[in-house]
Amino acid sequence: MTKLEDHLEGIINIFHQYSARLRHHDTLIKRELKQLITKELPNTLQNTKDQATVDKIFQELDTDEDGQVTFEEFIVLVSRVLKTAHDNIHKE
């Protein structure tokens, strides 16, 4: 497996680590998303412990408004975080 493929698999595994096994495995509810961003992105996203911030992120990601974030919706967050990290590298 290439380095990029390994990182892609890592993103999938992180998503699955936080999604509850009692529901559909490929969705996150708000509590799970909060745990994921608080533990996995504490240096990248600001105010991750603030419930209003989590609510806003969740609302932006949950485009079908079903109260869950699918993997497809989650990768929007990954894309935004990756773009910000890329922009920050060029600022240094």
Q: Does 88 score more than 80 pLDDT?
A: yes
pTM of the model: 0.87
Q: Give the domain 3-91 fold.
A: Recoverin; domain 1 (1.10.238)
- C-alpha dihedral, 56 to 58 to 64 to 69, nearest 10°: 170
Between 89 and 73, residue with greater pLDDT: 73
pLDDT tens string 21-60? 666 678 999 999 999 999 999 888 888 788 898 999 999 9
Mean pLDDT of 78-90: 92
Q: How far apart are CA 3 and CA 33, in angstroms?
A: 26
